[in-house]
Structure 1
Amino acid sequence: MLANQSILIINSYHKGYEFSDRIVKGIEEILYKNTDIDVNILYMDAKRVTSKEYFDSLEKLYSVQLKNRKYDLVIAVDRFAYDFVLDTHNKFFIDSQILAVGIENFSYDKAKKYGVENKVSALIERRDLKGNVDVIRAIFPSMKKLYIINDKSLNALHTEPLIFDLIQNFNGNFELEYIKEDSLEDLKKRFSKREESSAAIFIRFYKNANGELNKNHDIADFIKNAQIPIFITDSLFIKKGATGGKIVDLYRFGKSSGQMALDILEKKPHQVLVSDDLYFIFDSKKLSEFTLPVDALRVDYEVVNKRETFYDRHTGFINFVFTISPFLVFLILGLFHNIYMRKRTEKELRQRIEFDEVLLNAIESPIFWENEKGIIVDSNSKFCSLIGVTHESIYGKRLEDFKDNPKTKEIIEVINKYIENSYENFEFKHFDENRKKRVYIVKQERFQDKKSKTSGRVTIFTDVTKEREINKEKQKNRQFIIQQSKLAEIGEVFSSIAHQWKSPLIEITAIAQELFYSKKCVAEKEDESFVKDIMNQVTYMTDTINDFQKFIMPSNEKVEFDIYEAIKSMLEIVNHNMKYNSIKISVEVQEGTNLLVTGYKNECMQTFLNIVNNAKDALLNNDYRNRHVDIKLFNQNDYLVVTIKDNAGGIKNENIYDVFKPYFTTKSDGHGIGLYMSKVIIEDKMGGIINVENVNGGALFTIKLDQRK
């Protein structure tokens, strides 16, 4: 068994494209037998889009999807996926083995060019054109012309060498004509008339000249209605109108690919193999339509869509009659027993219906059914109670029949809104018999009964009152924790204010003493000067306490504010503390930056304060001559980005993924809710993004705020 192995399958085409889906199904059947293998599938859309811009965009998308994934083996289904794997090998699959399946040729030089010659294996799908010509020659000896039908796609170019080789080396008594059409409609017209001595080999015809992808049922319709026998080279259109041929079974080809993948994981040598798993299959109805005998073939073959004889259609019945004729008596007894069991089943069914009705009425959510004409078929008692009518009066009526009822009118309006946009949750509020407010979410589903051939809609009103109450309580608790976090920072702020007030108090004391003791201060102008100096110091202290009061006030509603102004206000609070600790703070705003965001200004300031205070604590371990915090603001796409970086040595690797968790702290006196609440404020309350990483000897916090709101 292969343990802890991982495989990535890259499909060249979109999901639902039958050619590649059959191959992938075969691969999965083999791989899923080994439950220890992790299999992932990515889909390209190369059948419909082949531009360089598309593959560049796909590469960017995969750079996100495959960023943290490593695969032991990458299976590329068809050429486009294989080319993509080669082009991006050094970026996404540097340590992965490669298996290319479904390609029509393999170049060792190409693999060597990309440096994967020792990592790549391939299972080549080779259509046997010559073998098909020999088959057609054997069952259609009077044929005069054989068409080879191909389209003008990129894949067709890889098949053309086989076609040209066949034509160049052909030796026969009939004509070969190679057709490369641009339009499926033109192809249908060309073969809409009977050509008694002609046939065709269909290789592919998936795209018109305008790049439009032909659907398989349209191609099958052309093959089925063509007035000449159409032979095929793979299993896509067997039983869909094709006459048959020597074909590649795509499902069996996929199983062979899956087994080859297991061999690679088991470290077996790399191989480039051509699949020789071909078999002969023919459609009986088409053979009869064009009078083609397959008896001349000297190989094993399979015939499908055989016309059944009377005996074939009724073999079971005929055998049954001859087998049970001696037991007619037992049949009669069996009929009586069947009648008894039917009566018993009807009784059990009635009991089941009664039980279902009791169970339905026990459900707290109001429910009712409508048929396709909008007539109410049934409902539970909760719905009847909701609109205030009896169960008997609602049956057979339309909801509009009760629109005079105010509650019913509201329900109709909510249902109409839901029908217009079923992806949005529409709420319906209602006061129950106890005058308690109830909140319901509307959900509708269509139903169809195949036996009775009826359909309609089921409408469910899910009671989410408790959930809404819980959410409100959670919001209150979250606001409490935010305020609690803010209070936890007050000690830091008070310390800052204390330092800021010491200087003006000393100045005021000195001025007062000088005024009191100086004998020279006798002039009125000098008195005014002393008073002015004192008032400047008092004004400074007043501004400081006002800034502090604004900060601790909680924000109740979202407002538009300037993020730069918020950062400056925050720095005013901690400025003296930072200077006291010899920490230099720089703020850089990129030219032309849109600084306006919508959210909660004070809570946003709290986030910046939490990060700056954490940086301050960490920087105290640095030499006092080398302590700095750098703040940068710039726009990126639709976001305003704020980065805060220190040079305190960064966060330990084992802690960096835990710093935003509640109550996680590395400080002996820390509370562990500062950065947690910062994440709550930025991501939950303001719809932004916050993360941290270690960069150049320090921690870098990045905050992104959406400006599209």
Structure 2
Amino acid sequence: MVPFRRCHFFNINSIIITFMKKLFLFLIFQSFLFANSSILIINSYHKGYEFSDKIIAGIEKVLYPKTDIDINTLYMDSKRVTSQEYYDSLKKLYRVQLKNRKYDLVMAIDRFAYDFVLDIYKDFFNNKPILAVGIENFSYEKAKRFGVENRVSALLERRDLQGNVDIIRTIFPSMKKLYIINDKSLNALHTEPLIDELIQSFNGSFELSYLKEDNLENLIKRFSKRDETTAALFIRFYKNSNGELNKNQAISNFIKNAKIPIFVTDSIFIKKGATGGKIIDLFKFGEKSGKMALDILEGEPHKIVVSDDLQYVFDSTKLSEFTLPVDALKVPYTLVNKRVTFYDKHRGFINFVFTISPFLVFLILGLVHNIYMRKRIEKDLRKRIEFDETLLNAIDSPIFWEDSTGIIVEANNNFCKLLKVEGKTLYGKKLEDFKELDSVRKIIEILENYRKDVNENYEFKYMDDNAKTRIYLLKQEKFKDKKSNSEGFVTIFTDITKEKEIILEQQKNRQFVIQQSKLAEIGEIFSSIAHQWKSPLVEITAIAQELFYTKSCKEIKEDDSFVKDIMNQVTYMTDTINDFQKFIMPSNKKISFNIEDAIKSMLHIVRHNMKYNNIKIDLEIKENTNLNVYGYKNEFMQSVLNILNNAKDALLSKDYKNRRIEIKIFNQNNLLIITIKDNAGGIKNENPYKIFEPYFTTKEDGHGIGLYMTKVIIEDKMDGQIFVRNVEDGAIFTIKLGQRI
């Protein structure tokens, strides 16, 4: 056993000795490699500028542990001073500072330092390697122009604009407009190709707008009002148009106080008001730059690297403020400014309790379940609130809630329209706060009158935006929430304008029925009178004939003409009474009749009246006109008679020798057209069609029912149409009827 153990120890010792030799040689090599190595860092900006300070902090974290590397940092002030005189003075200063210094690597932080290093390269850093950090684009032609194409390495800061747009689209699906915010600085010009590429390739359901501004105050004003459908992607905004540098604090305040979610592309404004984004972590970016610097010192060839180490970071408070869910993202993300929970505050105590009592696992599971259920209830409640709001706004009646103190808790869109006040300004205020508006004063007065007697239905009239009078029925009910022990009133304004119009129309129709009943009774009376007249006329005829036949031949010759006249008049009276009796009898059912016969029969009845008033009536029927229609013949004759009587009354004020009515009948598009035109000067009213309304009349002793009955007969009973319009010297009525073949 002893030899075996010695052999075993011998092998282990050999391995350890070999390992120590290799480690010693590696340390010697490293010491030799980095011995007296020196790096010059030229920062484009002044010390205290957060963007470059974070990058340099990351570089220093990598390089400072290397004790054999000497690091020297020089600061430019390109944000505040950009004149050529300043750069010339800086060259003179560096000539003194760098006169006796030699550097193994020159690191340029951002675009201004890189351009400055290229400009002074031959004078100060000839043949030394350059590492450009934080520039957005690398131009090989530019490097070749300065003779450093084989000496320059670069770590490019490439903002992922398309990636950020995709993120915003995912967590903000209701967005309708996205602003890309950039300033008008020189750095902004290097980002514009990326923005142009994004806009040209963009194909989305929302509007993409490039906002290039040069005044921070303008941005603050633009986004000072809440907009539920707008967001912004912030690139940079460091200088105003007057050259004044905007401090990061001012930019942070703008982003934090904006009423829309603002996303960013780097880590400066994370935790300072930005909603989040796919960002470049500047500190890690600096660490990567430091590692590249070590690689260059080790002799690796120059290379151009695009930093793709991007992270998804979001501000929890901002996500809650704008109700933006990040659960839909399919990538790992980090939340900052998370709300401190009970578990976070008492982590140590909970861990202790958990350690000493395994039974508390059930309590923790219960808490987790409670949190889950609370989130689920909150989600369901949010859906319910959205549903209730949609349902409330879908109701036509204006509705609002107020608590016991009169403060408005909720209102639908129709109530806001009734008040002519935006809904956002109503919540948390009383109606009395808007007394300066006439519409609000009117509603307050109506509510006060209603509360005097809440048992009575209260109706009131209100003028809408279209200057149309509407009628509302006011109803108010008291409610009490048992859980919160709060109470108030729900007020509903029901629009009953249509119902009132229907009732009014029914009343008019009842009056019309009564009038028709009266006319029917009059018709029966006239029919009775006509029947009674027939017997005396027959007796007169018999007496005349008896007288004629009892006379001598001589007397017969003398009275022959007289008897004929009597017989002609009696015959005429009999025919007229028969026609009139037929006309006044109402039709019981629809029949097929000839329009020409109906109109000529009606003209036969009124011809003496028209002739007596010297009114000439012309009837013109176009050749090959189909004159058959289906309807109520007597009612149709009554309709035409109403039109002719109105024309007659109007013509009585005209010249005695120039009174004329023209009736034309023709076919058009399978319809029978009847036009009745007079030369009485037209209807003296802005809207001639009002003459068809019930009880509307332009005559002092008119009753306003004739043309209304005409319209009802033609349109309701005959299924036709009637129109009226003024022409050059009078009015023309047009009747359109369907035909019976």
TM-score by length of 1: 0.45
Report the structure number with the largest CA radius of gyration: 2
